Amino acid sequence: MEKRIVVVASGRGSNFQAIINALKRGTIKAVCGALITDNPKAYAIERAKSEGIPVVLVDYATFSSRELYEHALLAALKKSQPDLVVLAGYMRILGPEVVREYAGRMINIHPALLPSFTGLHAQRQALQHAVKVAGCTVHFVDDSLDGGPIILQRCVRVMDEDDEDTLAERILIQEHIALPEAIRLFCEDRLTIDGRKVRIQ
């Protein structure tokens, strides 16, 4: 039986588009049940509409507290009935209630080789530390900041002439490979969490 995925995004949605492309190719045997976004101006909305994917707006700016927003987000997720929640450029830290509800069923893409350079501006952090290799990580979400069990990582060389934008562009290419691959493995029931380690069958 096909898995049902729900994507949560805040911005332009290029990783969301990579997921859509993989679904259309049949690389991922699943259906995208919804796009949930906290940003009414997110270009990801246009991507979803063009593919007939339902869009659910939970606009952070309309809530008087983070707690109320989180309750609404959790309600939207539950209504969408996902087997897997995919954070694809979602720019907020999730509270413990949402994380607990989808423990082992929520993944995130981060533009750094975790556990290095968590949080915002990961590419800038990499350049400031003059690392020779950067990349991206797909990981399960837990109650830490970008600290959940790692599923996949992909690397890029850092060039002497790189700035934040050029490095981000090259990392993004790898994100578009790694995230659909991690989703595919989940949907094929090939991922097992064993403490800090994710075993791929």
In terms of phi and psi (left: phi > 0; alpha: psi -120 to 50; beta: otherwise), the region of 117 is left
In this predicted structure, what is the pLDDT of residue 113? 98
Instruction: Give the integer Cα–Cα distance in Å for 83 and 2.
Output: 10
In this predicted structure, what is the pLDDT of residue 1? 83
Tell me: the pLDDT tens digits for 61-116? 999 999 999 999 999 999 999 999 999 999 999 999 999 999 999 999 999 999 99
Tell me: the pLDDT tens digits for 28-57? 999 999 999 999 999 999 999 999 999 999
User: For the chain, what is the domain count?
Assistant: 1
Provide the pairing of β-strand 84-87 with 3-9.
Answer: parallel
Written as six digits, the tokens of 82 are: 């996902």
| 110 labelled catalytic | yes
In this predicted structure, what is the pLDDT of residue 159? 98
Tell me: the pLDDT tens digits for 125-176? 999 999 999 999 999 999 999 999 999 999 999 999 999 999 999 999 999 9
Q: Which of 110, 121, 139, 176 is an active site residue?
A: 110
Domain that holds residue 94: 3-200
178 pLDDT band (50/70/90 cuts)? Answer: very high
Closest among 77, 94, 86, 78 to 20, alpha carbons compared? 86
In this predicted structure, what is the pLDDT of residue 165? 98
CATH of the domain at 113: 3.40.50.170
